[in-house]
Structure 1
């Protein structure tokens, strides 16, 4: 769960950064921040999917 909490904190940073008045972020900077966040989120989803598949393989009666 720590990884998901870290992801939530990263999302808060992005929202805070984007919400700052007069921050002067360019479209490229915003795109980079969002892209990085999406990449981290996809990594977390992939890790959870692998864990689920491993559990189903190793402990089919539990799921």
Structure 2
């Protein structure tokens, strides 16, 4: 399990530009307003940045 978590963190985007590009690629939309602030917060708190699958499913009915 630890190897899986380590692999998840290893493949996360390390820069805002890469994260924003990946967000656009994954969602088909530009990052929302404030994404840069969220990105900075996520990096400071060691959060997973590039894992959008669940949140995409949760918000799909609203798009």
TM-score (norm 2): 0.33
Name the structure where helix makes up a greater proportion of residues.
1
Greater Rg, structure 1 or structure 2?
1
TM-score (norm 1): 0.33
